[in-house]
């Protein structure tokens, strides 16, 4: 049972008990207000923090005792940075997952092919990555997810099973859309904040917070991503970490009909 259903049930039960208690004179109906506030706060947090699994299950970290991590990139393919990333990964003999948008995939088909041919996994990150995505209807969300899969399959011959919600936000509309496409939702356990932090602070954050089984989030669109990645991967290797692909870390398939 999804966490939001449990929260809904408990909230309704508490409100009913408050109403019954107020009729008997044991409690004031004013207690409904803090209950409502707590419910709203939980729902907002559950929508924003994907790893709470509030509406549906998302994979956010590998369950392993081995010193391994998985590296992921969002928002590509980027017409410049993605090729730089691929070059670094090749030099370091490392693998990654690229959660691409359908729009960028269509605009950069050769780069998408390069990702696939280099042995990296391609995941779905919606078609438009619109700032209004979380307000779309469930049918519109499903359309974006399905269209992105279709374009990725057209270009690479592979249909992804891994989906990362734009901004990591979930809600009831996405739950309905997601149940229809039957994919795996992927979150993260270590957010690099590469779109916000300065390079030095970002690298320090990564070195200080990397743990066994982490799924690390980067973006193709980040300035200096090539240098950041070089430093971080070398630090991982120097400290005994192994970089493995996400499907291996989570023990799930990355594509439909994967042999």
Question: Model confidence over 231-250: pLDDT tens digits?
Answer: 999 999 999 999 999 999 99
> What is the percent of the chain with per-residue pLDDT over 70, rounded to a whole number?
99
For 161, how many CA atoms within 13 A lie in the half-sphere containing its CB? 14
84 pLDDT tier (thresholds 50, 70, 90) = very high
User: The tokens of 130 are what?
Assistant: 């619109």
User: How far, in Å, are 11, 119, 248 from residue 105 at the CA level?
Assistant: 43, 17, 24
pLDDT over 70 (residue 259): no
Asked if residue 95 lies in contact with residue 245, where contact means CB atoms within 8 angstroms, the answer is: yes
pLDDT score recorded for residue 25: 86
**At what angle are helices 109-117 and 138-156 packed, to 10 degrees?**
70
Length of the chain equals: 259
Mean residue pLDDT across the chain: 96
Taking Cα atoms as reference points, which of 190, 162, 168, 146 lies closest to residue 246? 162
In degrees, rounded to 5, the angle at the alpha carbon of residue 198 between the alpha carbons of residues 210 and 212 is 5
109-113, 160-164, 220-224: least confidently modelled range:
220-224
pLDDT score recorded for residue 16: 94
Question: Model confidence over 20-59: pLDDT tens digits?
Answer: 999 988 889 999 999 999 999 999 999 999 999 999 999 9
Asked if residue 75 lies in contact with residue 221, where contact means CB atoms within 8 angstroms, the answer is: yes
Tally Cβ neighbours within 10 Å of residue 127. Answer: 26
Mean pLDDT computed over 205-212 = 98
Whole-angstrom distance, CA of residue 18 vs CA of residue 20? 5
């Amino acid at each position: 049972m999804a966490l939001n259903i449990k929260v809904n049930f408990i909230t309704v039960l508490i409100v009913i008990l408050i109403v019954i208690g107020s009729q008997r004179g044991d409690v004031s109906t004013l207690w409904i207000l803090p209950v409502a506030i707590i419910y709203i706060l939980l729902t907002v947090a559950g929508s924003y923090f994907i790893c709470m699994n509030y509406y549906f299950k998302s994979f956010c970290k590998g369950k392993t005792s081995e010193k391994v991590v998985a590296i992921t990139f969002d928002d590509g393919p980027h017409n410049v940075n993605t090729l730089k990333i691929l070059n670094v990964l090749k030099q370091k003999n490392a693998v990654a997952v690229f959660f691409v948008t359908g729009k960028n995939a269509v605009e950069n088909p050769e780069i998408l092919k390069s990702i696939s041919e280099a042995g990296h996994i391609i995941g779905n990150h919606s078609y438009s990555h619109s700032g209004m995505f979380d307000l779309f209807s469930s049918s519109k969300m499903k359309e974006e997810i399905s269209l992105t899969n279709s374009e990725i399959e057209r270009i690479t011959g592979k249909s992804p099973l891994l989906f990362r919600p734009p901004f990591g936000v979930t809600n009831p509309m996405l739950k309905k859309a997601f149940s229809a496409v039957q994919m795996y939702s992927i979150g993260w356990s270590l957010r690099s904040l590469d779109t916000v932090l300065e390079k030095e602070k970002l690298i320090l954050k990564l070195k200080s917070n990397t743990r066994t089984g982490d799924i690390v989030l980067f973006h193709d669109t980040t300035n200096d991503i090539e240098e950041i990645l070089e430093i971080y991967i070398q630090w991982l290797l120097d400290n005994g970490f192994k970089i493995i692909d996400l499907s291996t870390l989570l023990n799930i398939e990355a594509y439909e009909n994967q042999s």
